[in-house]
């Protein structure tokens, strides 16, 4: 009988598949670019993939492999590949899966640089992207072409926390023979596991919650073994060269050990902040999937684990002018892009993370010029709310 499957936190702390030399509690950092073969025959066998084992750290390294096993396990996928950034992961998936002449369907609300890749750069290589509202079935069907190969979204999406029904996306992808790719950065596998809804490939900016401490830029791809191997041996090895350093793998592995407790605290605090903001007279609208007022709350309830992550956004009645005043005067919140760190961060998507969008595309995606995005950190909740209250009270 197989051993009872351990819980999420236990699996994020332990990975017993790698031997730890000298009885070390934590997995060491293998800070090496290359691996010494025992003899020429062994080197040949490894290159021919007839024998497992490492060759050169652009293809794999014990420290990154250890992290990959853990991530694949947490996402419920056969395999994972870690890379030097979230954009490295997304770029590697696209360069691996697509060729000139292919077409992609993507939701309109995605991270600004991903939007820029789709809008400006993929077309230079003969790959076209149609942006749609994935919650509108008619728009999705109308976008389908004979050469459509891939469907892409984020959920919750950066920066409006739009929720996409993953079961629906996976079904549409299967019916039309498309590769479904989901950016799971904001939810993390603790809150949503896209594979369980039938999604093929999951990408992450591991810079965010997976690492959780604001000291690494990193990415990950999770999926079936064949596709992940292809991303490793073609996309990463020959095209993007987007390789994670052993030290960064060590830091993310350390961060992962507290993923569950961090996500619970981030989610609880973000819910409290969202409720506070919703009741404040200076605030026009709050975007947080945990709120009953969020338009996709029902899907979020079904798809997330009853917690909704630490990211939220809000618009002020005084528009951009008031948004600037708040961003410039908060003290506990730091005015910085990124998300998922211990520190609470606040930023202005229209001029910062989503400035690669044209004004027209931003409007179509519902990213208002007055929108502020806040990543709720792990400070004491009273301090976080007081920082907002003091500065919002000045606006009324
Ligand atoms: C949802 C999402 N995906 C991808 C990225 C890109 O990740 P990275 O900055 O690690 O390249 C970001 C960065 O902010 C993001 O927010």
> Over its length of 396 residues, how does the chain's per-residue pLDDT go in tens digits?
355 789 999 999 998 787 778 889 999 999 999 999 999 999 999 999 999 999 999 999 999 999 999 999 999 999 999 999 999 999 999 999 999 999 999 999 999 999 999 999 999 999 999 999 999 999 999 999 999 999 999 999 999 999 999 999 999 999 999 999 999 999 999 999 999 999 999 999 999 999 999 999 999 999 999 999 999 999 999 999 999 999 999 999 999 999 999 999 999 999 999 999 999 999 999 999 999 999 999 999 999 999 999 999 999 999 999 999 999 999 999 999 999 999 999 999 999 999 999 999 999 999 999 999 999 999 999 999 999 999 999 999
Asked if the 259-393 domain carries CATH number 1.10.10.10, the reply is no
Between CA 3 and CA 143 the distance in angstroms is 46
Closest ligand 1 atom to Cα of 88:
11
Asked if the 12-256 domain carries CATH number 3.90.850.10, the reply is no
List phi, psi (to 5°) of 305.
-95, 30
Ligand 1 centroid to 209 CA: how many Å? 11
143 in Cβ contact with 130 (< 8 Å): yes
Known catalytic residue: 268? no
Between CA 248 and CA 282 the distance in angstroms is 42
Residue located nearest, by CA, to atom 8 of ligand 1: 86
Known catalytic residue: 111? yes
Selection from 178, 167, 185 nearest residue 221 by Cα:
185
Q: Ligand 1: residues whose CB is within 6 Å?
A: 85-87, 111, 114, 154, 158, 183, 185, 205, 207, 217, 219
Residue intervals of the chain classified under CATH 3.90.1150.10 are 259-393
The one catalytic residue among 66, 111, 288, 308: 111
Residue intervals of the chain classified under CATH 3.40.640.10 are 12-256
The one catalytic residue among 149, 208, 230, 262: 208
Selection from 10, 21, 6 nearest residue 63 by Cα:
21
């Amino acid at each position: 009988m197989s051993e009872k499957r351990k819980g999420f936190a236990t699996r994020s702390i332990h990975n017993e598949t790698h031997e730890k030399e000298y009885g070390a509690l934590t997995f060491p950092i293998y800070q090496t670019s290359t691996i010494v073969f025992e003899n020429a025959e062994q080197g040949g066998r490894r290159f021919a993939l007839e024998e497992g084992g490492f060759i050169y750290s652009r293809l794999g390294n014990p420290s990154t492999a250890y992290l990959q096993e853990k991530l694949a396990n947490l996402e419920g996928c056969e395999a994972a590949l870690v890379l030097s950034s979230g954009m490295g992961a997304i770029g590697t998936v696209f360069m691996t899966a697509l060729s000139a002449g292919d077409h992609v369907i993507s939701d309109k609300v995605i991270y600004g640089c991903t939007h820029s890749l789709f809008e400006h750069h993929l077309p230079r290589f003969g790959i076209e992207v149609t942006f749609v509202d994935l919650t509108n079935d008619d728009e999705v069907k109308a976008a389908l072409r004979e050469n459509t190969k891939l469907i892409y979204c984020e959920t919750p999406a950066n920066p409006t926390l739009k929720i996409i029904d993953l079961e629906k996306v996976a079904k549409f992808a299967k019916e039309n023979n498309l590769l479904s790719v989901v950016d799971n950065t904001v939810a993390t596998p603790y809150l949503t596991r896209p594979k369980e809804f039938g999604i093929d490939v999951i990408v992450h900016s591991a810079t965010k919650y997976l690492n959780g401490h604001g000291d690494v830029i990193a990415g990950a791809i999770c999926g079936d073994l064949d596709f992940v191997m292809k991303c490793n041996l073609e996309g990463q090895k020959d095209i993007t060269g987007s390789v994670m350093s052993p030290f960064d793998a060590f830091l993310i592995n350390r961060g992962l050990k507290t993923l569950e407790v961090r996500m619970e605290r981030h989610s609880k605090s973000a819910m409290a902040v969202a409720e506070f903001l919703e009741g404040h007279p200076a605030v026009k609208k709050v975007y947080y999937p945990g709120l009953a007022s969020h338009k996709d709350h029902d899907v979020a309830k079904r798809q997330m684990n009853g917690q909704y992550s630490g990211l939220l956004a809000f618009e002020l009645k005084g528009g951009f002018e008031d948004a600037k005043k708040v961003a410039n005067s908060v003290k506990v919140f730091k005015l910085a892009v990124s998300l998922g760190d211990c520190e609470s961060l606040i930023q202005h998507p229209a001029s910062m993370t989503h400035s690669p969008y044209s004004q027209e595309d931003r409007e179509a995606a519902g990213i208002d010029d007055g929108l502020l995005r806040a990543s709720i950190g792990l400070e004491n909740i009273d301090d976080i709310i007081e920082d907002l209250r003091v500065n919002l009270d000045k606006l009324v």
